[in-house]
Structure formats: C-alpha cells, structure tokens
Amino acid sequence: MHTPVFIPVPGAPNTVVPGLVSKLSRAGMELYAGVNLQPGEVMEVEFRLPGRTIRVVGTVMDRSGFCFGVAFCSVRIELKESHSRLREASERFASGSESLSSGSSR
C-alpha cells in the first residue's frame, strides 16, 4: 500500500507536508513524512478523497528517520455533501465493528 496523505503543520495555518502511508490498520499506520515529531507527540493526518477529507489523529509511537509508527486516537470525516452511507460506515468504524484494512501497523 502506498497512499498519499497530508500532515498539517502545527502552528502554521494552511500549511501541510505531503506524506505516504505504507501500512494501515484499524489501530494505526506506518507513514513517511518530512516532519520533526518525536515518540509521544500527536500527529494529524489527512486522507483527501473526492468529496471528503478523512482526518485521523494519532500518537507517534515509533520513529526511524522520517518513518513514523502512529497509533490512532480519533477519526473524523468531513463531507462536502451529505453522504449518509459514509457517515454510517464511519460510525461503525469508530465503534470497532468495521476496519479500513486487514493489514498490520506499528
């Protein structure tokens, strides 16, 4: 899996750093990005899709260079138009009854 994402820069409104997710699971992800965060710090990641942006917030659990292991804290889906099926799916995901992928994470 190689999925492009964007990481908002804390303290710099409207500034994002591109990143690349290499592994994704319900609990977290592994991604590569040029940000200076350390284990224990919070990272926000945006998946931008047509009609919606999925934002996940997680804690950096591991770092090797610019490779980060991130454990999810929350998921938020922003819709540009009303999509009740997507909203229902996000609620099932948040409750733990549905996963994004069967892959593993750090």
Average pLDDT over residues 38-57: 90
CATH number belonging to the domain at 3-95, selected among 3.30.450.20, 3.40.50.1820, 2.40.10.220, 3.40.1500.10: 2.40.10.220
More confident residue, 31 or 101: 31
Q: What is the pLDDT of residue 10?
A: 77
Domain ranges (residues) in the chain? 3-95
Q: What pLDDT is stored for residue 82 in this prediction?
A: 44
Measure the CA–CA gap between 18 and 50, rounded to whole angstroms: 17
Among candidate residues 64, 52, 61, the one with its CA nearest the CA of residue 90: 52
